[in-house]
Amino acid sequence: MADFKLPKGIDEIVEGKLLDEGMYVVRITDEPQVVDNKKKQAGMSAEEGAGENLIVKLRIQSDKPDENGRAFTCYLPWPNEADALRPPNPFSGQPRLDEKIQKLVMWHAAFNGGTMPKGTKIKLEAGAEARIFVKKGVDNRDQDNPVERNEIGFNAIPEPL
């Protein structure tokens, strides 16, 4: 059996600390991309939920070292032709296609200084900044060992700086 020396003792390990829930300035770190969602990758149909997501990678920008650089990935549902055939949102009554487009328009506005897009094009690019709400959540992927973490909620809408 081999022995290995750690760079510091196990009693010196510093635990991670969750951020407080609230608004944080974030920057897009990579060019956002539209990619197939897991259901589409598995060969399912649009009626079964197959579609695409706009992936936006973000990092917190802060003067506080314990906040700065925290990373998040947002998966924004990309509109498709099947959304026009789906029933409206039961809570708001808004058509599903319009709901997805409206969310993308709000992301565009936030990361472009409040400027609304024109026509059918939105712009999200690396280096753009906005504010977004970060909350506390639980990662349940390992059912035996759920882990508390910070996350950006699925319905989060960023705000312009």
Provide the b/e sequence for 84-121 (b: ≥16 CB within 10 Å): eeeeeeeeeeebbbbbbbebbeebbbbbbeeeeeeeee
H/E element, 132: strand 129-139
Higher pLDDT: 68 or 156? It is: 68
Higher pLDDT: 19 or 16? It is: 19
Higher pLDDT: 153 or 4? It is: 4
* Residue 69: per-residue pLDDT: 97
**Span 71-119, pLDDT tens digits:** 999 999 999 888 988 899 999 999 999 999 999 999 999 999 999 999 9
| pLDDT, the chain, mean | 93
Residue 153 predicted with pLDDT over 90: no
For CA atoms 101, 105, 106, 108, give the dihedral sign: positive
Q: Are 152 and 76 in contact (CB under 8 A)?
A: no
* Residue 156: per-residue pLDDT: 86
Higher pLDDT: 145 or 20? It is: 20
* Residue 49: per-residue pLDDT: 85
